[in-house]
Amino acid sequence: MLRPRCRASLRALAALLIPVVFAVAATAQAAPGSPTASAPAAAPGSAEEPLEAEPPPGSPRAALQKFIELTRLGRYADAGAFVEVPRAREEERAALAQRLRAVLDRHVVLDLDKVSDQDAGTLNDGLPARYEQIGTVRVAGDVSEPVRLARRSGSSGWVFSLSTVARIDDWYQALPDRWLRQHLPGPLLQTGPRDLLWWQWAGLALLAVVGSALGMLTGALVRSVLGRAAKRTVTIWDDRILARSRGPVALAFTVGFMRALLPQLLLYEPAERFVHQVLRALLLANVLWAFWRLVDVVAELSWSSEFSFEHPSSRALIPLARRMGKAVVAVAAILLLISALGYPVTSLIAGLGIGGLALALASQKTVENLFGAFSLGIDQPFREGDFVRVEDLTGTVESLGLRSTRIRTPDRTVVSIPNGKLAEMRLETFAARDRLRLACILGLEYATTADQMRQVLAEIERSLREHPKIHPEGTSVRFIELAPYSLNVEIVCFFATRDAEEFTLIRQDVLLEFLQIVEKSGTRIAFPTRTLHVQTDASSAAA
């Protein structure tokens, strides 16, 4: 059973491998049998697709295109009509057509646009008038033999020439995948996407699994060796980078092993170009993945650095810079992967420039919020984790994002405020306080004497000044007014704490102390009272 870390690595590799493979496979995919690309031949015996019967083609391009289409569908008997054979080999037309298609797939990159579309063929190519050369087959070293079409005698159609047909068997015997063609089941020899046969797709999947296993094993060994070296250094950045490099290192070795084992699949040239394109895209994605991890490492080291503790204002910019760094990596990844897939990035950027005005108008609020985030990060009216009041809203700042700031209220709900608006609102940060203030009114009953009042005032002030968690500066205990139902004493002091929870505990102890002082002085806390005088007149009394 795989360990959790191993499973996490597998998930990370799959999450990066699968989207890239499918993205490349979905781009610029030429349909089999299209005029500009040839697909490998289908296996004999595959299901025939309906194809309208057409008269013999009149140009070399039409003949070659028809031959490619018929062999792709596995209709080698019909494709044999485009192979000129001696009468003695008439029964071998279908087999010769199948072998010829295998040779063309392996040695000749067919570009139908370069083949003449005139009935007479190309007249200025240095060949006899009735011949058209479509490519060459390398047989040994620099020695190549031509593959030619010939115009039928007394007909306007074109077929593969006798000289070409005479060399088919020798060319076919020299194919590296001849044994596989003769022994694999027919379905595995059928053409799949991107000019790969289905057995090659299966082999590519197996290659990915083997490469991933070898890549993770080799990556673990390399990281183990580098880890021992990193432990001997006094710095921590190398340990952090090594801890974050598990996935990128494993994927780099995976791509390397897949590239080394790729020749075993005996790919045709177009298919090989496609697979190399996928591997380059994977390698590029791996580099960007490493930079993504590097942004995290730099942010963590910056957060815990001595400079950030000496300059607390800089710490608020670190989360914002981290998100911006990842955004830059993401944009670079998109552009570079698009370029790796064969799209012209310069044309894309030019197209974006043309629509830049409309984009700017549509994203006005987004840009406003982005600049608001920078403004809040530089001005730093609050930090993540601070308890704040934003006009009528109070809560704890959970995150300062590129678009909005999230505040969790005392009711545990989350409120998102766009940064553009937040930068213009009245902000009150409770976390910025160096001490917390207690201000309360203590009401004593009117039965309190002057001596009792003096005793209460003196004892409360003494208690506050002797308390270890109360600043002596700013402490005030004053008899301030004769209220309707109480004699009010105003008490003001500052607690030497910035923690709200600790403040409530200290306040509780202090208020209990106030009650004890009042009780010892012989007076009591007042409560709302009303004296009602009922007077009756003399007539009512006489009655």
Plot region of 262 (φ>0 → left; ψ -120 to 50 → alpha; else → beta): alpha
Residues above pLDDT 70, as percent of the chain: 79
* Tokens matching residue 377: 């990060």
| Residues in Cβ contact with 288 at an 8 Å cutoff, skipping those fewer than 6 apart | 329, 332, 333, 336
- The one-letter amino acid code at 491 reads I
* Cβ-Cβ contacts under 8 Å for 473 (sequence gap 6 or more): 494
Q: Which of 57-71, 143-157, 404-418, 423-437 is the most confident on average? A: 404-418
Give the pLDDT confidence score for residue 408 in this predicted structure: 92
What's 219-263 look like in SS3?
Answer: HHHHHHHHHHHHHCCCCCHHHHHHHHCHHHHHHHHHHHHHHHHHH
pLDDT of residue 23: 47
For the chain, which domains are there?
A: 60-187 (no CATH), 198-354 (no CATH), 377-431 (2.30.30.60), 434-520 (3.30.70.100)
Pick the closest to residue 120 from 82, 164, 152, 145 (CA basis). Answer: 152
Tokens of 386: 């601070």
Listed range (73-87, 345-359, 401-415, 512-526) with the worst mean pLDDT: 345-359
- Per the CB < 8 A criterion, the answer to whether 187 and 107 are in contact is no
Query: pLDDT tens digits for 193-250?
Result: 776 778 778 888 888 888 888 888 888 888 888 878 877 777 777 777 777 888 888 8
Nearest to 79, CA basis, from 91, 69, 70: 70
For residue 45, pLDDT over 50 is answered with: no
Predicted confidence band of residue 419 (pLDDT cuts 50, 70, 90)? confident
**Do residues 215 and 257 make contact, with C-beta atoms less than 8 angstroms apart?**
yes
- Give the closest residue to 399 by CA, choosing from 334, 318, 474, 457: 318
Q: Which of 9-13, 22-26, 358-362, 434-438 has the highest mean pLDDT?
A: 434-438
DSSP 463-479: HHHH-TTEEEEEEEEEE
Reported as a single tens digit per residue, the pLDDT across 431-454 is: 777 888 899 999 999 999 999 999
Residue type, 20: V
CA 128 – CA 466 distance, rounded (Å): 117
pTM: 0.49
Six-digit token string for 82: 């485009």
Cα separation values, 289 from 226, 282, 303, 331, Å: 20, 10, 22, 12
Question: Cβ distance 9 to 244 under 8 Å?
Answer: no
pLDDT exceeds cutoff 70 at 27: no
Which residue has better confidence, 62 or 50?
62
**pLDDT (tens digit per residue) in 316-351:** 667 777 877 888 888 887 877 777 766 676 766 666
Q: Determine the average pLDDT of the residues in 366-395.
A: 79
Res. 104: pLDDT tops 50:
yes
Burial of 59 from C-beta contacts in 10 A (0-12 / 13-18 / 19+): buried
Q: According to the per-residue pLDDT averaged within each range, which of 13-17, 219-223, 266-270 is highest?
A: 219-223
Percent of the chain with pLDDT over 90: 14
Q: Match 């299209």 to its residue by tokens.
A: 34
- Mean pLDDT computed over 11-27: 47
d(CA 58, CA 68): 16
Contact 183, 146 (CB under 8 A): no
User: Which pLDDT does position 33 carry in this prediction?
Assistant: 38
User: Who has greater pLDDT, 302 or 9?
Assistant: 302
For the chain, the residue count is 543
Token pair listed for 455? 């005793």
pLDDT grade for 289, boundaries at 50, 70 and 90: confident
First to last CA, the chain: 105
Mean local confidence (pLDDT), 73-78: 82
